[in-house]
Structure 1
Amino acid sequence: MKLLTNRRMFLKGTAAAGIVAASGVPAFARDGALRWGSSSLGSSGYVILEAMANVTNKHTNLHNAVQATAGTTENFALLGSGELDIAHTTSIDWVAAFRGDKPYPGKIEANQLLSYVKWLCPPLVHKDSDIQTIADLKGRKYSASKPGSGAAALSRILLESAGLGSDGRDVDWVYGGWKEVYNNFQLGQVDCIFGIFTNGAPIGLITQVNTAVPLRALEYSQDVLDAAIAKNPGILVADLTPEDWSALEKPVRSPVFTGILGAATSVSAEDGYEIVKSVLDNVEEVKSFGKPLAGVGLEAAVNNLLVAYPVNAGAAQYYKEKGVWRDELKIAS
């Protein structure tokens, strides 16, 4: 099947699947800079990509321009169509894109550069909500930000695995930017929200809402998580604990996905080396951009890369020089 060749065609093609990015995203124009795709404005992915691109601009001769996007699902499509060079992606995107799962119209290939974050993501409801289990979400308003986001893609897999219809169609999906949907959730206009705990720490919006309206985390059963992992092995599992978030009374089993900086196959080994070196040689400077960058580090950068997918040859060279390369990883040709 032929790949869609531009962003407009991707958005048109994904509309039928309910994955349409919000309007107002900047156009992707080539001006000599490497084009980086982040995520929706204000999201942790947006902050992370801005930080890494800024540090790379400062410490290399590369020119990097960051574009806000609808999220990681769209980013992978834009890597495949040649409209992005570098992109914020998640572990679940790699599995879906390389298999050509919907909404992708065919197999899309890319190369990994570095991993930078783990997100634990239990669904959240108001503490006094009558929603007690995942099954209770049937017919209720649920939001995981924009339809092109990794959060929405992961939610569809999880909710389908929980018996809530194909792609989670038995819930009433509400789309919007993170700030918008969390505000609506606080006001009771959304029943359940996709929780985001960056490296275990709640994002600011969760802290803000929990101050006004006490929250409670729902838990997926292990059977549901196992079924979701069978559909997409990019999904991981970990416990969110009261030490991570004081609102919890006991640990909650949570799905996890990781953030991976992806590069189009056209990005050279030389550029890949420079990007990875600039970020990882200047970790403290990168972390100074905010809490979402707390997980950036040399060991995490390589240890959380996916064995099944290629690593840019320049990135691999850097890891070998630092003595942290994993032999089970494969290098892009």
Structure 2
Amino acid sequence: MRTGNTTMRAPGALALAAVGVLVLAGCGAGGNNMTLATGSTGGTYYPLGGEIAQLWSDNIDDVNVSTQATGASVENLRLLDNGENELILAINGVAANAANGESDFADEPLANPDDVTLLGNVYPEVLQIVATEDSGIESVADLKGKRVDMGPPGSGTEVAARQLLESQGWDPESDVEAFNSTFEEATTKLSDGQVDAAVAILAVPAASIEQVATGGTDITMVEIAGEEADQLMEDNPSYSTMEIPEGTYQGQDQPVQTLTNWASLYSTSDLDEEVAHDLVQEMYEGADDIGHDVGDQLDAETATESRGPTDLHPGAERYYEEAGVLD
């Protein structure tokens, strides 16, 4: 069931910030004006977040959601903690690190980690390593000494890439020649031979990887399997195994074993309970209106899987109970 219709969308996040009219959920005569922090423009978060924000703004009375391009998970959690955004997308494993004050949050923990709340999982975030065929890289072990793009600074991809290398007993600062690029930039660097491999946590299929595969560069999808996968899962229990089917990318003639997290939607305990309920309801029940490839992966049945230490927002919890997917 939809909850009404609005026709006006909030202006962009930067414009709002410039005039100082960003308001918290539940405040302001003009309704609930919120900003969703997404990711870099070449990733999945940015276009998908735009569609979800439009879905909310069009179908929930007095709710207007704009989007903001960011460095993704780590940066987004800090933006949420600082009160600069009301809604964010982030990888569940990175959110767990934030809650526990670990990894990227060990030296600079969030001020209020207990205030971060889960609204629901959006789609599986697949850890993908793409290498140029000329590089000779066929396994994680082959990455040592190579030029590896680790993903945008502050992103879940960068966190995962570092975790992967550290799980092999390597130093990410010295055992590879590391680059930190947006997914669009990494695509160009792979195609131009500036890097040998790139790590990405993205939906399958990933547009940036498709672009390399169809742009005249022969690629190899690198497996994360066996002891390499087992060690990473032991170090980081938020990961689970997944297979990228044969033919997902041009030239990929075999299935590829890898690992996955969840891309999840987070807010804080300050978000109005009714607004949180309506956001979650609309996101799952209106998923058919999302044109992005991962729109069909939005499923309330998997909304709370691998939640980790992060509490479920009461408004989201009420929706899941009403939908019969949570006892």
For the aligned pair, the TM-score class normalised by the smaller chain equals: 0.7 to 0.9
- 1:70 aligns to 2:61 (yes or no): no
Contact map agreement 1:127 1:214 (CA 8 A) in 2: yes
- What is the match of residue 255 of structure 1? 259
- C-alpha spacing 1:216/1:279, structure 2 compared with 1 (3 Å): same
Cα deviation per residue 1:271-308 (whole Å; 9 max; x = unaligned)?
Answer: 210111121221111x22x2132311332334x35154
2:193 pairs, out of 164, 188, 196, with 188
- What is the match of residue 238 of structure 1? 242
Give aligned-pair identity as a percent: 23
- C-alpha spacing 1:276/1:82, structure 2 compared with 1 (3 Å): same
Structure 2 Cα separation of the partners of residues 34 and 153 of structure 1: 27
2:149 pairs, out of 143, 146, 167, with 143
- What is the match of residue 207 of structure 2? 204
Quote how far apart the aligned CAs of 1:128 are.
3.2
Letter in 2 for 1:64: V
Cα deviation per residue 1:10-62 (whole Å; 9 max; x = unaligned)?
Answer: xxxxxxxxxxxxxxx94883522222111112321111211111111111112
- What is the match of residue 158 of structure 1? 164
Structure 1 Cα separation of the partners of residues 161 and 15 of structure 2: 28
Cα deviation per residue 1:172-201 (whole Å; 9 max; x = unaligned)?
Answer: 111222111111111110110114552xx3
Structure 1 Cα separation of the partners of residues 200 and 56 of structure 2: 30
Give the 3-state SS of the residue equivalent to 2:118 in structure 1: strand
1:114 pairs, out of 120, 127, 130, with 120
What does 1:7-26 correspond to in 2, within 5 Å?
26=14
Structure 2 Cα separation of the partners of residues 26 and 168 of structure 1: 34
2:228 pairs, out of 224, 227, 230, with 224
Give the 3-state SS of the residue equivalent to 1:163 in structure 2: coil
TM-score, normalization by structure 1? 0.82
- What is the match of residue 297 of structure 2? 295
Give the 3-state SS of the residue equivalent to 1:64 in structure 2: strand
1:271 pairs, out of 275, 292, 297, with 275
Give the 3-state SS of the residue equivalent to 1:294 in structure 2: helix
Quote how far apart the aligned CAs of 1:246 are.
5.7
Cα deviation per residue 1:117-174 (whole Å; 9 max; x = unaligned)?
Answer: 1122231111232223322222221113211111111111011112221x56421111
Cα deviation per residue 1:88-128 (whole Å; 9 max; x = unaligned)?
Answer: 01111122101111432225231111111112223111123
Structure 1 Cα separation of the partners of residues 306 and 51 of structure 2: 20
Quote how far apart the aligned CAs of 1:252 are.
2.2
Contact map agreement 1:56 1:64 (CA 8 A) in 2: yes
Mean Cα displacement is larger for which, 245-254 or 93-102?
245-254
- What is the match of residue 97 of structure 1? 98
- C-alpha spacing 1:176/1:190, structure 2 compared with 1 (3 Å): same
CA RMSD of aligned residues (A): 2.2
Cα deviation per residue 1:188-232 (whole Å; 9 max; x = unaligned)?
Answer: 10110114552xx32222222112112112223432222222332
Structure 1 Cα separation of the partners of residues 259 and 70 of structure 2: 24
Structure 2 Cα separation of the partners of residues 134 and 83 of structure 1: 38
What does 1:172-183 correspond to in 2, within 5 Å?
172-183=177-188
Structure 2 Cα separation of the partners of residues 176 and 27 of structure 1: 26
- C-alpha spacing 1:169/1:81, structure 2 compared with 1 (3 Å): farther
Which stretches in structure 2 are left out of the alignment for 5+ residues? 1-12, 24-32
Structure 2 Cα separation of the partners of residues 54 and 310 of structure 1: 26
- What is the match of residue 22 of structure 1? none
- C-alpha spacing 1:294/1:247, structure 2 compared with 1 (3 Å): farther
Letter in 2 for 1:87: I
Structure 2 Cα separation of the partners of residues 168 and 319 of structure 1: 43
Contact map agreement 1:112 1:305 (CA 8 A) in 2: no
Letter in 1 for 2:255: P
Give 4+ residue runs of structure 1 displaced > 4 Å after superposition. Answer: 25-28
Give the 3-state SS of the residue equivalent to 1:147 in structure 2: coil
Letter in 1 for 2:302: A
Structure 2 Cα separation of the partners of residues 76 and 259 of structure 1: 13
What does 1:71-86 correspond to in 2, within 5 Å?
71-86=72-87
Which stretches in structure 1 are left out of the alignment for 5+ residues? 1-24, 328-333
Structure 2 Cα separation of the partners of residues 42 and 168 of structure 1: 25
